[in-house]
Amino acid sequence: MKEEKIFITDNPLLEIDTKRRVMMAFEPSKQVARIVTDFGFTLTREIVADCLTLKKVIKQCPVEGATRWVGENADKYAKEFEAVETYEGDEHLKAELSKMLQPIIESNVRTAEKQVRAEALRTEYKSMVERIYVLFHTGLRTIETADFLHYFDVEDGEVVLPKNIDELIKADTATYATTEKGKAAYQLHKQIVENLNALADMMKNISRSDFTSNLERLFFEGEDGNVHPTSIDYDLFTN
């Protein structure tokens, strides 16, 4: 069941800012499509999403051959570690890489040659991922992709945005009342406005602009903390 919501107002500044972020991510995403397809991957929405959310992290990995003397057991000493730069968030990309590695693994060539071919492909993959990451992270400059992720799609091997992107962003950045209390408050506020307009219509001896600019004089806060009507000469203003 679709959530019922009440439109309150557009937010032009937020709309413009969101559109700016979307379009900034659009151009590098087109380059992403070319990079991954040139590598041999099938372009899917999941693949592009991986590219848009790549994270570079530093992990502590064990150093191979960290024994002190020839012939000593490697477990005799505590393992040594080194900081290694790697990427996270490329699950779908890695799945495609595994598909490309499978024919190499299943081939009839010698094991050593398999390892060389597989390692060469992994090295090319790392280089590809680095190129993609740099598209969105250069120096201190980071292109935000969260908004773009919400709207983009993949069609015929290309990254695209919907034709009605402006309308979608406008709707998504607008303010709505969605909760029961929020919708009730909106209806009550609307009713108060209708009553104020009815009161303004009755108070013929004061201009509409004076009435609206002095609304606060019609009310005061009592000792009980509630709003009360100010005592005025209704006959004076209505006749």
Average pLDDT, the chain: 90
Q: Answer for the pair 164, 158: CB distance below 8 angstroms, yes or no.
A: no
Q: Answer for the pair 169, 19: CB distance below 8 angstroms, yes or no.
A: yes
The helix/strand/coil state of 59 is strand
Q: Is the pLDDT of residue 30 over 70?
A: yes
List pLDDT tens digits, range 178-203.
Answer: 999 999 999 999 999 999 999 999 99
Q: Quote the pTM value.
A: 0.77
Task: Find tokens 């950045």 and name the residue.
Answer: 173
Instruction: Give the pLDDT mean for 28-57.
Output: 95
Question: Residue 14: what pLDDT?
Answer: 97
- Dist CA 150 CA 84 (whole Å): 32
List pLDDT tens digits, range 119-167.
Answer: 999 999 999 999 999 999 988 889 999 999 999 999 999 999 999 999 9
CA 165 from chain centre, in angstroms, equals: 15
CA-closest candidate to residue 136, choices 218, 215, 29: 29
Q: Is the pLDDT of residue 68 over 80?
A: no
Question: Residue 119: what pLDDT?
Answer: 95
